[in-house]
């Protein structure tokens, strides 16, 4: 067997597993759950299922020739933001697309999958294997988005519905903050080219870092409760100006999904409403909140370069990644990858020498390098195999519906 054939076989297996996982994640959601849209930044589950199929149809099957599209209207309905492809349905109105329904979307997915599988098996996509691999990672991104968006939707329900049953778990004391020294100096940052990476993870380049310390654990719910008890949400001196304005306008007094129930804090999870566990990493906080907490703690957020340099030596340690039977962080541990994405102090900007790919696929990351902040690590809804220490996630500063937390650093 040639190396090329072996890679194709491995990619085919990966493609089928990724596609199957999307359907597994959608299964607990009713057709009504899959159609509704809770806010403009979120998308219906049905849309995620369709868009990830559209990606393979648009960028892999169509250019390979001899492919009959499933439905020409889907090119408009399920394009996300690819201007070079053509016009698209407005993002804030995706929840109004009641047709096609979930059953028809299932047929669409099966049609696209069968076409990709048959062409991979016949060697007809040998010139597009990189795009097939990109499509698999793109779908894994949408698996995480699917769960984020479904959680936000279900949280709007008056009776805290359950997506996945999960037994009650004992709490644990997270313990005091401990610090790990990092020497700094000249370090190489970015993906080294071994295996898959998104374009924004390179080019690899060298930076100089001053010595610093980084916390061995993410900030816990216990830490956050102390911040709240000390008036963290009511002290303007802790906040960036835009952050303080947002706190006042939105009425933030706790992380997203937290609620004060007669003096006891509870949190909505994908397993319904639960008591806040002190030993878990705090989750669903914005960059503004993370920055204010760090200032309150007499520390700061690490830059993304500091975060990566600190993570490289313990890259084999993993916290909680996506388990469809759980979909929730574990207790705080000393891994830097898993449980919650961690806000950094870095704006989302191109690395030196970055150039987006030609054509529509080049719109994947580069066009968003403005007014966003970088998060590193991975979360409890990141599919295993999709996490890397060089991965650059990014969201606007006020975003809270991602599984986002923080880790402290100090000079």
Tens digit of each residue's pLDDT (9 = 90 or more) over 169-212: 999 999 999 999 999 999 999 999 999 999 999 999 999 999 99
Q: What is the CATH number of the domain that holds 227?
A: 3.90.1580.10
Distance CA 282, CA 275 (A): 13
Q: CA quadruple 90, 93, 95, 96: dihedral positive or negative?
A: negative
| pLDDT tens readout for residues 211-222 | 999 999 999 999
Residue at a domain's end among 154, 188, 223: 154
pLDDT at 227 over 60: yes
pLDDT number for residue 7: 61
> To which H or E segment does residue 393 belong?
strand 393-395
In a domain, 53, yes or no: yes
Same domain membership, residue 189 and residue 140: no
Query: What is the arithmetic mean of pLDDT over 37-44?
Result: 98
Distance CA 233, CA 227 (A): 8
In a domain, 172, yes or no: no
What's the token pair of residue 127? 């010139």
Angle at alpha carbon of residue 22, lines to 19 and 23, rounded to 5°: 95
Same domain membership, residue 320 and residue 212: yes
Please report, for the chain, how many H helices and E strands are present, in that order.
11, 12
Number of independent structural domains in the chain: 2
pLDDT number for residue 156: 98
Q: How confident is the model at residue 1 (pLDDT cuts 50, 70, 90)?
A: very low
In a domain, 251, yes or no: yes
Residue at a domain's end among 120, 138, 154: 154
Greatest CA separation found in the chain?
66
Same domain membership, residue 308 and residue 247: yes
In a domain, 166, yes or no: no
Distance CA 302, CA 343 (A): 8
Query: What is the arithmetic mean of pLDDT over 268-286?
Result: 98
Give me the domain span that covers residue 116. Answer: 3-154
| pLDDT tens readout for residues 320-359 | 999 999 999 999 999 999 999 999 999 999 999 999 887 7
Average predicted confidence (pLDDT) for the chain? 95
Q: How confident is the model at residue 365 (pLDDT cuts 50, 70, 90)?
A: confident
Q: How confident is the model at residue 3 (pLDDT cuts 50, 70, 90)?
A: very low
Residue at a domain's end among 87, 121, 154: 154
Same domain membership, residue 263 and residue 392: yes
In a domain, 168, yes or no: no
In a domain, 231, yes or no: yes
Q: What is the CATH number of the domain that holds 22?
A: 1.20.120
Q: Could you tell me what percent of the chain has a pLDDT over 70?
A: 98
- In the block, tokens 């047709």 appear at 99
Same domain membership, residue 259 and residue 361: yes
Query: What is the arithmetic mean of pLDDT over 246-265?
Result: 97
Same domain membership, residue 253 and residue 387: yes
Which residue(s) pair with 205 in the sheet? 189
What's the token pair of residue 350? 């191109």
* The residue count for the chain: 411
Same domain membership, residue 210 and residue 105: no
pLDDT number for residue 2: 45
Same domain membership, residue 119 and residue 195: no
10 versus 363: the higher-pLDDT residue is 10
In a domain, 24, yes or no: yes
């Amino acid at each position: 067997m040639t190396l090329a054939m072996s890679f194709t076989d491995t990619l085919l297996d990966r493609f089928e597993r990724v596609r199957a996982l999307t359907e597994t994640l959608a299964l607990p959601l009713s057709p009504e759950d899959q159609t509704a849209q809770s806010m403009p930044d979120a998308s219906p589950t049905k849309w995620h299922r369709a868009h990830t199929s559209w990606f393979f149809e648009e960028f892999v099957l169509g250019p390979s020739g001899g492919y009959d599209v499933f439905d020409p209207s889907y090119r408009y309905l399920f394009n996300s933001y690819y201007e070079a492809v053509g016009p698209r349905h407005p993002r804030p109105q995706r929840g109004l697309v009641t047709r096609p329904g979930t059953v028809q979307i299932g047929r669409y997915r099966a049609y696209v999958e069968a076409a990709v599988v048959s062409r991979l098996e016949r060697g007809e996509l040998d010139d597009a294997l990189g795009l097939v691999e990109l499509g698999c990672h793109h779908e894994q991104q949408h698996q995480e988005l699917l769960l984020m968006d479904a959680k936000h939707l279900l949280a709007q329900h008056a009776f805290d519905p359950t997506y996945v049953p999960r037994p009650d778990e004992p709490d644990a004391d997270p313990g005091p903050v401990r610090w790990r020294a990092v020497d700094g100096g000249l370090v190489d940052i970015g993906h080294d080219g071994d295996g898959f990476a998104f374009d924004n993870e390179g080019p690899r380049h060298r930076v100089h870092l001053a010595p610093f310390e980084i916390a061995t654990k993410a900030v816990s719910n216990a830490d956050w409760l102390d911040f709240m008890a000390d008036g963290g949400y009511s002290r303007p001196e802790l906040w960036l100006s835009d952050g303080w304005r947002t706190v006042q306008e939105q009425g933030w007094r706790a992380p997203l999904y937290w609620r004060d129930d007669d003096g006891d804090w509870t949190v909505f999870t994908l397993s319904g409403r639960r008591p806040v566990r002190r030993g878990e990493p705090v989750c669903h906080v914005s960059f503004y909140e993370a920055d204010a907490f760090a200032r309150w703690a007499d520390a700061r957020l690490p830059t993304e370069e500091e975060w990566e340099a600190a993570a490289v030596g313990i890259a084999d340690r993993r916290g909680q990644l996506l388990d469809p039977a759980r979909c929730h962080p574990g207790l705080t541990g000393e891994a830097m990858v898993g449980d919650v994405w961690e806000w950094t102090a870095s704006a989302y900007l191109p690395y030196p020498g970055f150039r987006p790919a030609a054509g529509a696929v080049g719109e994947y990351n580069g066009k968003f390098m403005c007014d966003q902040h970088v998060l590193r690590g991975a979360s409890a809804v990141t599919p295993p195999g999709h996490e890397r220490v060089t991965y650059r996630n990014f969201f606007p500063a006020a975003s809270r519906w991602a599984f986002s937390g923080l880790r402290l650093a100090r000079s």
